[in-house]
Chain A
Amino acid sequence: MTTQKPPHLKTYLLIGVMIIAGPLGNVLLGKGMKHIGQLAIWPPLQLLHAGLNILTSVSIWSGIASLITFFVAYMLVLSWADYSFVQPASSLAYGIVALLGYLVLGERVSPLRWTGIAVICLGVFVVGRTNPRTTAQV
Chain B
Amino acid sequence: MPHIILFTLIVVAGTGGELCVSRAMKVVGEAPSLRPTDVAKVVLRALRVPWMWLGGGMMAVAFFALLGALSIYDVSFVVPVTALSYVAGAFGGVVFLREHVSHQRWLGVALVAIGVALVFLGKN
Give residues in A with beta carbon < 8 Å to B: 23, 26-27, 29-30, 33-34, 36-39, 54, 60, 79, 94, 97-98, 100-102, 105, 107-131, 134-136
Contacts and interface: CB of A to CB of B under 8 A. Distances in A.
Contacts of B101: 134
A112 B8 CA distance: 22
Contacts of A100: 75
A112 B122 contact: yes
A30 B119 contact: no
Contacts of B102: 130-131, 134
B118 interface: yes
Contacts, number: 145
Nearest to B120: A116
Chain A interface SS verdict (over half): helix
Given A118-B115, A122-B111, A126-B107, A34 B70 contact: yes
Nearest to B78: A30
Question: Chain B contact residues (Cβ within 8 angstroms of A): what range?
Answer: 35 or more
Contacts of B38: none
Chain B interface SS verdict (over half): helix
A99 to B, nearest CB: 8
Given A23-B79, A29-B66, A124 B86 contact: yes
A126 B80 contact: no
A127 B65 CA distance: 25
Contact of A113 (B71, B90, B107, B123): B123
A101 B75 CA distance: 6
Contacts of B109: 123, 127
